[in-house]
Structure 1
Amino acid sequence: MLTSVNAELLRALADPLRLRIVCLLAHESLCTTHLVEETGARQTNLSNHLRVLREAGVVETEPCGRFTYYRLRPEMLTDLATFFGGLADGRHDAPVARRPCG
Structure 2
Amino acid sequence: MILKERETGEGLLVAVCDDDVLGETFETGEMSFTVTEEFYGGDEADEDEVVHSLNRADVANIVGTDAVALAVEAGFVNEANVLELDSTRHAQFLRM
Same fold at TM > 0.5: no
Higher gyration radius (CA):
1
* TM-score where L is the length of structure 1: 0.29
Question: Relative contact order: is structure 1 or structure 2 higher (C-alpha 8 Å, sep ≥ 6)?
Answer: 2
TM-score (norm 2): 0.30
More helix by share: 1
